[in-house]
Amino acid sequence: MTSQRSLPADDFGIYYVLAECTDYYDTLPVKEADGSQPCSQGVTGLRNLGNTCYMNAILQCLCSISPLVEYFLSGKYITALQNDCSEVATAFAYLMTDVWLGDSDCVSPEIFRSALGNLYPAFSKKTQQDAQEFLIYVLNELHEALKKYHYPRRRSHEKDSAQRCCRKWITTETSVITQLFEGQLNYSIVCLKCEKCTYKNEVFTVLSLPIPSEYECSLQ
């Protein structure tokens, strides 16, 4: 069992986007300092709307992924949304902008929660929900709104069945979400009698890893 897709390298494009946005905002009238401005871009809190810790934790993680931030702040999502007026994707873009370019140390994710709650009422309730489930729904909605079809040409050296199978999987709907979050597990099953080998692919966006309780763990 092997992973067939690797994450794209971070080209630090976000910093060029932030520089352009900063140059634009520097031309606007300067407001008097009220002590509410964050110490640096992207360091912005999310207001708790009532047992929404699970949602805020996921949103903070998503708003810290450089390629995803660059995609939304640069306006690339607007082109992808021409055929799909997704309230979830639009609300997420506005939230991303407030987090990175806003003038407050805390913003409310109410609009985003409302947009997602219209599709999944469970997230509109002021009760604790599963963070992983919330992440899966968010990624799915963003993918559906931003997806496009991609048909790469078959390469001459791809003669192996596993390679053809992988290429078949790739020639489907792609988006910034699949590029950043999606992976593929490739299974090979060999018959013990005829030794015939068959292949099976399984796509995932969330890979759960157990954290051993008997050891001390840290982020270092």
Number of domains in the chain: 1
SS (H, E, C) 125-172: CCCCCCHHHHHHHHHHHHHHHHCEECCCCCCCCCCCHHHHHHHHHHCC
- Is residue 207 in some structural domain? no
- Is residue 59 in some structural domain? yes
Per-residue pLDDT tens digits for 50-65 = 999 999 999 999 999 9
- Is residue 155 in some structural domain? no
Per-residue tokens: 14: 């976000």
Task: Give the residues across from 202 on adjacent strands.
Answer: 185
Q: How far is it, in rounded angstroms, from Cα 130 to Cα 146?
A: 25
Instruction: Give me the CATH number covering residue 134.
Output: 3.90.70.10
- Is residue 125 in some structural domain? yes
Q: In a structure prediction context, what are the per-residue pLDDT tens digits for the chain, which is 220 residues long?
A: 444 444 344 444 544 455 555 454 445 444 444 444 444 667 889 999 999 999 999 999 999 999 999 999 999 998 888 666 789 999 999 999 999 998 888 999 999 999 999 999 999 888 899 999 999 999 999 998 998 765 455 545 444 555 554 444 444 678 999 999 988 888 888 988 888 898 888 888 888 888 777 767 676 5
> Which residues span the domain enclosing 42?
7-149
- Is residue 170 in some structural domain? no
- Is residue 128 in some structural domain? yes
- Is residue 192 in some structural domain? no
- Is residue 183 in some structural domain? no
